[in-house]
Amino acid sequence: MNTVLSVLIAGHLVAVEVLAGVLLFLSVVVGPAHAGVPELVLKRRSERVALVCLAVATVTMIGWLWLVAAALAGLRGLPSPEIVFNVLTTTPFGMVWGLRALAVAFAVSALIRGYDQRSGRSQAPLAWSLMVLISLTLASRMATGDHPYAGVLLQMVHLAGSSVWVGGLVALALLAWRMGANDLAAWRKLPIARGRAYFWYFAGSMAAILASGAGMGWLLTGGRFSLGAYFDSVLAVKAGLAVGALAVGGVNRSVLVARLLSGKPRAAAALWIGLALEGVLMVAVIGVSAMLELTPLPIR
C-alpha cells in the first residue's frame, strides 16, 4: 500500500503544483488577457493544461483519501463509504480534505470565470492557489513537528516558490510549442520576453525554494544531519535534484530564451531539450518529496 500511496501523493503534488503555478503565472506575469493575441493564445493553452491537472489532482486526491481511511480503520482493502465519511468528519486529516474540496471549487470557478475584462486580472486564481498551499501544508509532517509554526511557515514559502517556478516552466513550454516565425514575433511583445520582471519572478522563486528548503531540512534533522540515516540520505537526494533543476532552469531562462528571441539557429530545439530536462528533474524532486512524507524520522 505504501508504494501505491507514494505514487498517488507524487501524482497529486505534481498536478497541484502545475495547476497552482499556471494560474499564478497567468494572473501575475502575463497580465490582462485582452492585451494582445499572444496572451490569449497562452491563456487558452494554459487552461487546457489546468483542466487536465485538475482532473488528475481530483482523482489522486480521492485515492489518497481512500487509502489513508483504510489505514486508519486498520483495513487491508478499500474502506466503505461510511468509514470514509467518519474520517472526513472526525479527524484532522479529514478536515484538511475539506480545505482541498474548497480548493477544487476555487479552481473550477477560476477556470470558468477567467479574467475580469475591466481590471484585466482575476483574483480567483490567487485565492485558489493560497487555499491549495495551506491545505497541503496542514497535511504535511511540518505541521506536527517540534516547531509547528516555523515548519508551517517554511513549508508555505517552499510550496509558493515551487508553484511559481513550475508555472514559469509550463508557460515557457506552452509558448515554445510549435513556434513559427509569426509566433516568435508575437512572443517578443509578451512581458515574459522583455524587461527584467520575468527574471526576478524566477530568481525570487529560486531563493524562496532554497532558503525554505534549508530551513525545513534543519528542523527535520534537528541540525544533526547524517548520511548514515535513511531519511537524511533521501533528503540529500531531494536537495541535489532541486539544485540541479534550478540550475537548468536558470540556464533556460537567462541563456536559451535569449538565444531563441534573437533568432539563433536551432535555439528552439536547445530550449526544448533544456525544458524537458528541467521538467524531468522537477518531477523527480516532487517524487522524492512524496517518499519523504512516508519515511519515518530517525531517532537521534
Task: Report, as an integer, the average pLDDT of 9-34.
Answer: 73
> What is the band of 34 on the pLDDT scale with cuts at 50, 70, 90?
very low
Residue 126 lies in a domain: yes
User: Within 10 Å of residue 1's Cβ, how many Cβ atoms?
Assistant: 10
User: Within 10 Å of residue 211's Cβ, how many Cβ atoms?
Assistant: 14
Look-up: residue for cell 494572473? 27
Identity at 265, one-letter amino acid code: P
Residue 35 lies in a domain: yes
Cα dist from 215 to 100, 203, 226, whole Å: 26, 18, 16
Residue 226 lies in a domain: yes
> What is the band of 258 on the pLDDT scale with cuts at 50, 70, 90?
confident
State how far the Cα of 245 lies from the Cα of 226, in Å rounded to an integer: 24
DSSP assignment of the chain equals -HHHHHHHHHHHHHHHHHHHHHHHHIIIII--GGG-HHHHHHHHHHHHHHHHHHHHHHHHHHHHHHHHHHHHTT-SSPPPHHHHHHHHHHSHHHHHHHHHHHHHHHHHHHHHH---TTTS--SHHHHHHHHHHHHHHHHSGGGGSSSHHHHHHHHHHHHHHHHHHHHHHHHHHHHHTT--HHHHHHHTTSGGGSSSHHHHHHHHHHHHHHHHHHHHHHHHHTT---TTSHHHHHHHHHHHHHHHHHHHHHHIIIIIHHHHHTT-TTHHHHHHHHHHHHHHHHHHHHHHHHHHHHSPPPP-
The per-residue pLDDT for 55 is 87
Question: How many domains would you assign to the chain?
Answer: 1
The per-residue pLDDT for 185 is 63
8 A C-beta contact, residue 42 and residue 31:
no
Residue 82 lies in a domain: yes
Rounded-to-10 torsion of CA 18, 21, 22, 26: 180
Residue 299 lies in a domain: no
> What is the band of 41 on the pLDDT scale with cuts at 50, 70, 90?
low
Domain that holds residue 266: 2-294
Report pLDDT digits (tens) over 55-106: 888 888 888 888 888 887 777 777 888 888 888 888 777 777 777 777 777 7
Residue 201 lies in a domain: yes
Task: Report, as an integer, the average pLDDT of 173-184.
Answer: 65
Query: Which of 65-69, 103-107, 208-212, 244-248 is least confident?
Result: 103-107
The per-residue pLDDT for 186 is 59
Q: What percent of the chain has pLDDT over 70?
A: 74
Residue 194 vs residue 246, higher pLDDT? 246
Residue 300 lies in a domain: no
Gyration radius (Cα) of the chain, Å: 20
Phi-psi sector, 74: left (phi>0), alpha (psi -120 to 50), beta: left
Residue 289 lies in a domain: yes
